Structure 1
Amino acid sequence: MSLVKEKTQSSDNVGGAYSEAAYKVKSDAPLASSSSAEVAIAADDFGFTPEEQKAIIARVDRRLVLTVGAMYCVSLMDRTNLGAANIAGMGTDLKLIGDRYSIISLVFFITYVIFQPPSTVVVRKLGPRIHLALITLLWGSLMIGMGFVKEWQQLAALRVILGILEAGFFPSCVYLLSTWYTRYEVGKRNSVFYMVGCVAAAFAGILAYGIMQMAGLAGLNGWRWIFIMEGILTCLLGVAGYWLLVDFPDSKRNTWKFIGQRERDWICARVQADRGDVKAQPFNLVKYLHAGSDLKIWAYAMIFFNTTTTTYALAYFLPIILNENMGFTVGQAQCLVAPPYAFAGIVMYGTSWLGDKYHLRGPVIAVNMLLIIIGLPIMGFHPNANLRYFGVFLVTAGANSNVPAAMSYQANNIRGQWKRAFCSATFVSFGGIGGIAGSLVFRSQDKPDYKPGLYACIATSLLNLIIVTGLTFTFWRANKKADRGEIELEDAEVSTGTGYGFLFFFSSFFLFFFFTALTLILGRLPAWVPVYLLVAMTFECF
C-alpha cells in the first residue's frame, strides 16, 4: 500500500478537536475532506507487536521526558529562588530598597529573550546531550557564585549571564519533545515535563526553608546557602544529563544505551505518518526566518506571553504575598507555597489527558484562563486570609496548567522541522517577555494589596480567551473551506504566512528594547510601564 501526503493543518475545529491526518491511502479520487473516516494514520510497524510498541514509547518517556523534566526542575528553581532568598535575609543584606528587587528579577529576561531564537538552531547542530548538559553545568556554577555576592549590582550582573545560559534550555526541550511524539501523544508528555517543574516550585520553598537553617555555617547567611546548595544540585544534574539525554529521532549520533536503529526507524515512521515532517531539511536562514511571516505563530507566542506573565508573577512574589498580604510567618509562607503547586500538577495532568484523549487544545486553554479569572479576585480582595489562600490554588492551577496546554496547542498546528524550531524559539521568547511583565506587575510600592498586579494578570487572562476564540474560529472556517476543496491547508514545506508576521516581530521587540532601555536610563521602573507594555503588546497582536 503506497501513501501520498495530504496537505493538512492540524487545527481546532468548532469543538476544539483535530480531524486531519498527514497521510492517506492513495486513490484516483480527489483528496478526502479532513473529516473523512477514510483518512487514517499509517505507519509500518517494523515487526513490533502492540505490546512491544508500548514498551518502546514507555522507554522513550522514561529516558527523555523524565530527564528533561528533572533538568527543567532545577532550571525553574534556579531562576525563581529570589523570592525565597529575599525573605530569608537577602533583601536586608543587599539593601534591596525601592525597585531594586524588581530590577534584579527583570534583567534575567533581557538576555533570556535575546538569546532564545538561535537556540533551536544550535541544539540541532550540537545535539541535545552536549548543548543542554553544558549550559546546565555552567548555570549551576553561576548559581554557586551568587551565594558570594556583596552588592545587589553584582547579583544583577550574574542574573544577566544566567539569562544567556538558560535561554537555550526551555525552547530546545519544547522542540525536542515535539519531534519524538505524534500530535495526540505530546500533550501528556508536555504536562509531565512541566509538572516536574511544578514539583520543584512546590517543594522549593520547603527546601529553601531547610537550607536556611544552615545560616551561620562557614560564616554565611541562610540565603547564600540557598544559592550555593541549589547550584551544586544543578551541576550534578548537568553531568548526569550528558549520559541520560537523548538526541533527535532522525539523528545519526549515538545515544548511550537507549534504543536500537530498528526502534528508532519505527518512531520516525509513525511521526512521519502523523504529520509528515520527521526529517529536517538543510538549514536555510532565509527560509527559517520566513516562518515569521505566519501570523498564527505570533498568536501562539502571545498566548504564552499572557500565560507566563501570571506564572512568573506567582513564582517571584507568592512567598512575599503570603507573608506580607496574608499575614503568614516567613516559615509558613515558604511551606504554604507547596500545596497550590501540588494541586496545579494534578489539574495539569488531568487537563492534558483529556486534551489528548478528545483531541482538545483551545477549550483546555479557555478553562485554565477561567480558573485564573475566578481565582484572582478571591486571592486579592476577599477579607478572609484563608479564602484568599484558596484563590491562590485556583490561580496557580490555571496559570501553570496553561503552559503545557499552550505548548501542545502550537506543536499540533505547526508543520516542518525548521518552522517548528522557529515557532518554539519565538514561543518561548515571548514567554520570557511575560517573565519581564511578571517581574514588574507586583511592585513593592503596591504592597500589601498589589492591586495593579492583580488587574494586569486578569487582563492577560481575558486577552488569552479572545485570542483562543479567534484562532478556533479561524481554524474551523479553514477546515470547512478545505472540506469543500476551496483551499489547501498548511504543508510541511510551505509557509502559509500573511506577510504581517515580520512586522509584528520587529515592532514587538522594539517595544521590548525600548522598555528595557527606559528602565536602565531612569534607574527605576515607572509605574505606567507594566500597563503600557500590556496595552502595546495587545495592540500589536491585533
Structure 2
Amino acid sequence: MTDADRKPDLRDHVEPVESRKPTLEHIDDDPVYSYKDQRKIIRRVDIRLILMLGFMHCVCLIDRGNLGSAAVAGMKKELDLIGNRYNKIAVSFFPPYICLQVFGPILVRKIGPVNYLSGVCFIWGAVMLSGGFVKEWPQLVGIRIIIGALEAGFFPACVYLISTWYTRYDIQRRYAIFYLLGCVASAFTGILSYGITFMNGLQGLSAWRWIFIIQGLITCAIATVGWFILVDFPDRMESSKRKFMSNDEYEFILRRIEKDRGDVLLEPFNARKYFAAGLDINIWAFGFIYFSCTTTAYAVTYFLPSIYEKGMGFSEGTSLCLFAPPYAAAGVLMVVTSWIGDKYHIRGPILIFNALVTITGLPLLGFTSGVAPRMVGAFLTTMGCNANIPAAMAYQANNIRGQWKRAFASAVFVGLGASGGMTGSLIFRTQDAPGYHPGILTCVGLSVLIIIMVMLLSVRFYILNKRVDRGELVIGNLPGFKYTY
C-alpha cells in the first residue's frame, strides 16, 4: 500500500507530543475546519449527546427523588411509616447503587451506550411503575433496591461518555447542561406530583401511587426515545450504524481530543491496570469532594418538602409547589459559574464559591425562626450544593488522563457521590424536625471540607505544574500536560 492509498490517521494533523500546549487557542487551530464550522459540529454533538443524556438523567433523578413527594402525598400514612421506616426506604436505594458503580464504565464500553443506557433506563422505569401497587412498606424497600442496582452504572457511564467527546475546557458547560436538566426535573417534580395528587382515588388508587405510576411511564417513554437518538463513543462512530456526521467531522472530533490530552485511542482492557488507578490519591480526593457536595444535594431533595410542611407550616400542595423555585435559581447559578470556569480555565475557585453560598444558606434554613429567612436559606442551600455538582465533575475530568483510568475515576467518583446520597437520606431524622439541626450542621461541616480539600489540591497541583515547567515531571505520560486548579 502506497502513502497515497493509506487512510488518513487522526494523528496526521496532530503536533508532536512535546509541542502540545493544553490551551483552547491551540486546540481550535484545526487544519480542516474554521472556528465557526468547528462550533457547528460540536453543537450537533451537544444536541444528540448532552440533551438526550440530560433528559434521561432528568427522569433518573425524578425516579430517585420522588420519595419525598410521595411521602407528603399520603404514602407515610397509608404504609404506616412510623419511626425510621421512611429512612429505611430512602437509604435502601444506595447499597447496591454504590457497590455496582464500578461496572458502569466497563458495561457501557462492552455493550455500547445506546443499548446499555437506554436499556437500564427502560427497565428501572418499569420497576418504578410497579411501586404504585405495593401493599406493605418492605415491598417498597425491595423496589428501591432493584432501582438502585439498575441505576448504579448509569451516571458514571454518562460522565465517562461525555468526557470522551469533549476537551477539558469545553466540558464544565456540558456537565452543567447535563445536570441542569436533572435539576429542572427536581424543580418540577413537586409541581408534577401536586398535579398528580388530583388523581387521588382514580381507579381506586391513592395519589402517591399515581406518582410512581405516571413517573415510571414517563421514564419508559424517554428511554425509548433515547434508543433512537443516543450516540456511540467517538472512536467507534466511523464504523457505527448510527452515524450522524461525515467521517471527516468525526476525524475532527478525534484530532481535537488528541491535541487536548492525547488519550483518544482506547487501550485494550486490562483489569490490573484498571483497578491500579485506585492508587492515585487525586481520584479519591475528587471523590470525597463530590461526596460532600451530594450529601447536601440529596438531603435537600429528600427533605425540603417536609421542611416546608413541618418547619414552615405550609400545606401539602404549597410544599410540593415551593420545591421548584430554589432549583430554578440553582440552574442559573450553575450555568453562570460553569461558563466562568470554562472561559477562564479555573475549577477550584468555583467549587469554593459555591460551597460558601451553601454555608451561608444552611444556618438560615436551620437556625432561624421566621419563614422569610428560612426560605432564603432554602434558596441559597439548594443553589450552592447543586451548582457544585457539575463543578466537581469538571474538576475531576480535567485532571485525569487515559481512557480506562478516566473510566475507573468516574466509577469511584460517582460511587462516593452515591455514598453522599445515602448519608443525606439519613442525617435529616424525623425526630429532629422542624429544625433538623444535626443534619444542618453535618452539611455545614462537609461544605467546609470541600473548601479545605480544594485548597490542599490546589497547592499540590501548583507544585506539580511547576515541576512540569522545569522539565522534572511528566504527568500521565503526556509531556506538557498540566493540572487544572
Instruction: Give 1:466's aligned residue.
Output: 452
Whether 2:68 is the aligned partner of 1:83: answer: yes
Residue 64 (str. 1) matches residue 49 (str. 2): yes
Deviations 1:463-483 (A, max 9, x none): 111100000000011111222
Q: How far does residue 487 in structure 1 lie from its aligned partner after superposition?
A: 2.3
1:55-93: CA deviations, max 9, x gaps?
A: 111111111110000000000000000000001000011
Task: Write the letter of the residue equivalent to 2:157.
Answer: S
Residue 212 in structure 1 maps to residue 197 in structure 2:
yes
Describe the SS at the equivalent of 1:213. helix
Question: Which residue is 2:315 aligned to?
Answer: 329
Shift of residue 491 of structure 1? 2.2
The counterpart of 2:293, out of the listed 297, 307, 320, is 307
Rounded to whole Å, the distance in 1 between the matches of 2:41 and 2:471 is 39
| Residue 225 (structure 2) aligns with | 240
Q: Is the 8 A contact 2:63 2:215 kept in 1?
A: yes
Report deviation, 1:262: 1.4
Shift of 1:43: 7.2
Q: Distance in 2 between matches of 1:368 and 1:329?
A: 31
Q: Which runs of 5+ in 1 are unaligned?
A: 7-21, 25-33, 497-542
Between the aligned residues of both structures, percent identity stands at 50
Distance (whole Å) between structure 2 residues aligned to residue 171 and residue 487 of structure 1: 30
Deviation at 1:299, TM superposition (A): 0.1
SS at match of 1:383: coil
Aligned residue among 16, 33, 45 for 1:4: 16
Q: What's the secondary structure of 2:267's corresponding residue?
A: coil
Q: What TM-score, normalized by structure 1, do the two folds share?
A: 0.84
Pick the aligned partner of 2:20 from 23, 27, 36. 23
Residue 376 (1) aligns with residue 362 (2): yes
Check whether the contact 2:292–2:450 (CA below 8 A) recurs between aligned residues: yes
1:121 aligns to 2:106 (yes or no): yes
Describe how 1:85-104 pairs up with structure 2 within 5 A: 85-104=70-89
Flag the 1:356–1:255 CA change in 2: closer, same or farther, 3 A: farther
1:457-504 CA-partner distances (Å, limit 9, x unpaired): 0010011111000000000111112222232223269xx9xxxxxxxx
CA contact (8 A) 1:416 1:492 kept: no
SS of corresponding position for 2:92: helix
Q: Is the 8 A contact 2:14 2:258 kept in 1?
A: no
Relative to structure 1, the CA distance from residue 43 to residue 325 in structure 2 (aligned partners, 3 Å threshold; closer, same or farther) is: closer
2:413 to 401, 409, 427: 427
The amino acid of 1:5's aligned partner reads V
Greater helix proportion:
2
The CA distance in 2 between the partners of 1:392 and 1:412, in whole Å, is 31
CA distance in 1, matches of 2:232, 2:336: 29
CA shift digits 1:88-141 (9 cap, x unpaired): 000011111101101111010000001110110110111100000000000000
Query: Are 2:180 and 1:180 aligned?
Result: no
Aligned mates of 1:246, 1:133 — CA distance in 2: 11
Could you tell which deviates more after superposition, 437-446 or 246-255? 246-255
Whole-Å Cα distance in 2 between the matches of residues 408 and 43 of structure 1?
A: 20
SS of the equivalent of 1:41 reads: helix
Q: Which residue of 2 aligns with 1:260?
A: 246
Query: Does the 8 Å CA contact 1:44/1:266 hold for their aligned counterparts?
Result: no
Supply the distance in 1 between the matched residues of 2:478 and 2:60 (Cα, whole angstroms): 32
If the length of structure 2 is used for normalisation, what is the TM-score? 0.94
Uncovered stretches (5+) of structure 2, i.e. residues with no partner: 1-12
Following TM superposition, by how much is the alpha carbon of 1:293 offset from its aligned partner in structure 2, in angstroms?
0.4
Cα distance, 1:44 vs. partner?
7.5
The answer to whether structure 1 residue 200 and structure 2 residue 212 are counterparts is no
Please give the per-residue CA displacement for 1:257-308, whole angstroms capped at 9, x wherever unaligned: 5212211111011011011011110000000000000011000000010010
- The structure 1 residue matched to 2:122, chosen from 127, 131, 137, is 137
Distance 2:471 2:334 in 1: 38
Aligned to 1:41: 26
1:279 aligns with 2:265: yes
What letter matches 2:199 in structure 1? Answer: M
The Cα shift of 1:47 comes to 2.8
Contact 2:17/2:478 (CA < 8 Å) preserved in 1?
Answer: no
Q: Which residue of 1 aligns with 2:473?
A: 487
Measure how far apart 1:168 and its partner are.
1.4
For 1:189 and 1:466, how far apart are their aligned partners in 2? 26
Distance 2:40 2:60 in 1: 29
CA separation of 1:386 and 1:167: change in aligned 2, threshold 3 A: same
Is 1:389 aligned to 2:375, yes or no?
A: yes
Distance between the aligned counterparts of 1:411 and 1:212, measured in 2? 41
Secondary structure in structure 2 of the residue aligned to 1:360: coil
SS at match of 2:199: coil
How far apart, CA to CA, are the structure 2 residues paired with 1:392 and 1:203? 16
Q: Give the deviation of 1:49 after TM superposition.
A: 2.9
Distance in 2 separating the partners of 1:401 and 1:255: 37
- Distance of 1:68 and 1:213 partners within structure 2: 31
Measured in 2, the distance between the counterparts of 1:223 and 1:383 equals: 30
2:14–2:259 contact (8 Å) kept in structure 1: no
Partner of 2:430: 444
Measured in 1, the distance between the counterparts of 2:339 and 2:405 equals 26
Instruction: Indicate if the aligned counterparts of 1:44 and 1:269 stay in contact, CA closer than 8 A.
Output: no
Name the amino acid aligned to 2:274: Y
User: Which whole-Å deviations, capped at 9, do the CAs of 1:354-375 have from their partners, x for residues lacking one?
Assistant: 0000001000000010001111
Query: How far is 1:423 from its partner?
Result: 0.2
Q: Is the 8 A contact 2:15 2:259 kept in 1?
A: no
**Structure 1 vs Structure 2 CA RMSD:** 1.7
Assess if the C-alpha contact under 8 Å between 2:402 and 2:476 holds in 1.
Answer: no
Conservation of the 8 A alpha-carbon contact between 1:247 and 1:255:
no
Deviation, 1:212, is: 0.9
Matched, 1:163 2:160: no
Q: Look up the match of 1:351.
A: 337
Residue type at the aligned position of 1:90? M
